[in-house]
């Protein structure tokens, strides 16, 4: 068994005054790309914020939250080691930042680059290679605010990739993207998995689960409802119970779709 990328043991966490998790335990080993799927309000964003150290769990006896094998992190170091692409980041990113600088800002986990940050020729070359790989090299001089949602998301992926992270955490990666942009983005995610990156995908959209992700964790009301092999977990019956509405699951080329049942 590979070492754990993520280890939550007996975690209690609040958002404001709302108790979201009480005694949550979940382990994701490196190499075990996983989707965490749940309805609105299940606790997905809270989980994401725990992993990115935007919020902290309540310190209780025996509880632990280990990321990449460590309990204590300098937040900036963690964010460069674990590529996190969230909607909050896309929303908060500086509109005036130029494309190339969005990628380079990953070195410092900053929003845009600043005059005190130094980049060598190699850094800029690497950023250019990543832009080519993601098909966004022609937008290097375009400001973030003048890009489409799909282009912005690719730049934020490039910003994460500049640090060669072993793992990436994706928050509803295709929300706001049209069909072409969605499938192109998913193709990139699929090739990253094939290259050996571990992906943790947090979503309520079944259709954006890449075929390469084999483990599915269903969460509901802050608890793990089911955790296992995709083929066994993503059934019509389980999803109907999870979302509290009759649903029918269909599978094509490894992708899942859901219809009203
Ligand atoms: N700032 C907040 N203050 C109080 N309660 C909150 C806050 N943010 C979220 N919550 C509550 O915490 C619970 C979990 O919310 P969370 O945002 O983690 O769910 P989610 O699965 O990400 O939902 P969605 O799919 O709608 O984004 C919900 O009951 C929500 O109402």
Residue 98 has pLDDT above 80, yes or no: yes
Residue nearest to atom 7 of ligand 1 (CA): 15
Q: What is the mean pLDDT of residues 178-198?
A: 95
Q: What ranges do the domains of the chain cover?
A: 86-165
Burial class (CB in 10 A: 0-12, 13-18, 19+), 171: buried
Residue nearest to atom 26 of ligand 1 (CA): 40
Percent of the chain with pLDDT over 70: 100
Q: How far is the CA of 36 from the centre of ligand 1 (A)?
A: 15
Q: How far is the CA of 48 from the centre of ligand 1 (A)?
A: 11
Pocket probe mutation, ligand 1, options 44, 48, 172, 202, max atoms within 8 Å of Cβ: 44
Pocket of ligand 1 (CB under 6 A): 15-16, 18, 20, 38, 40-46, 204
Does this complex have an ipTM over 0.95? yes
Q: What is the mean pLDDT of residues 206-221?
A: 97
242: left (phi over 0), alpha (psi -120 to 50) or beta: alpha
Q: To the nearest whole number, what is the mean pLDDT of the chain?
A: 94
Residue nearest to atom 4 of ligand 1 (CA): 16
Reported confidence tier of residue 76, pLDDT bands at 50, 70, 90:
confident
The two three-digit tokens of residue 231, written as one number: 């083929």
Q: Which of 18-27, 69-78, 243-252 has the weakest average pLDDT? A: 69-78
Total-model pTM: 0.93
Reported confidence tier of residue 148, pLDDT bands at 50, 70, 90:
very high
Residue 32 has pLDDT above 80, yes or no: yes
Residue nearest to atom 25 of ligand 1 (CA): 40
Residue nearest to atom 24 of ligand 1 (CA): 40
Backbone angles phi, psi at 94, to 5 degrees: -65, 120
Summarised one tens digit per residue, pLDDT across range 52-74 is 889 999 999 999 999 999 999 88
Residue 1 has pLDDT above 70, yes or no: no
| Ligand 1 atom closest to residue 43's alpha carbon, by position in its atom list | 18
Q: How far is the CA of 106 from the centre of ligand 1 (A)?
A: 28
Q: What is the DSSP string of 121-182?
A: HHHHHHHHHHHHHTT-GGGTTSBGGGS-HHHHHHHHHHHHHTT--SEEEEESTTTT--HHHH
């Amino acid at each position: 068994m590979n070492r754990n990328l993520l280890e939550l043991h007996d975690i209690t966490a609040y958002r404001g005054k709302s108790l979201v998790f009480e005694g949550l335990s979940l382990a994701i080993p490196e190499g075990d790309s996983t989707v965490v799927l749940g309805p609105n309000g299940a606790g997905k964003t809270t989980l994401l914020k725990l992993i990115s150290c935007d919020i902290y769990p309540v310190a209780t006896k025996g509880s632990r939250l280990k990321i990449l094998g460590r309990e204590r992190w300098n937040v900036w170091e963690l964010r460069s080691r674990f590529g996190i692409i969230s909607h909050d980041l896309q929303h908060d990113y500086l509109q005036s930042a130029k494309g190339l600088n969005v990628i380079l800002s990953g070195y410092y986990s900053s929003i845009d680059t600043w005059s005190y940050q130094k980049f060598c020729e190699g850094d800029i070359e690497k950023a250019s290679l990543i832009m080519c790989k993601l098909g966004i090299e022609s937008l290097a001089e375009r400001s973030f605010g003048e890009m489409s949602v799909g282009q912005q998301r690719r730049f934020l992926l490039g910003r994460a990739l500049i640090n060669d992270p072993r793992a990436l955490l994706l928050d509803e990666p295709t929300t706001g993207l049209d069909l072409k942009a969605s499938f192109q983005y998913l193709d990139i995610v699929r090739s990253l998995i094939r290259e050996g990156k571990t992906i943790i995908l947090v979503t309520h959209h079944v259709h954006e689960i890449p075929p390469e992700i084999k483990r599915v964790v269903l969460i509901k009301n802050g608890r793990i409802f089911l955790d296992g092999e995709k083929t066994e977990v993503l059934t019509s019956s389980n999803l109907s119970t999870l979302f509290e509405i009759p649903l029918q699951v269909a599978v094509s080329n490894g992708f899942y779709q859901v219809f009203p049942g």
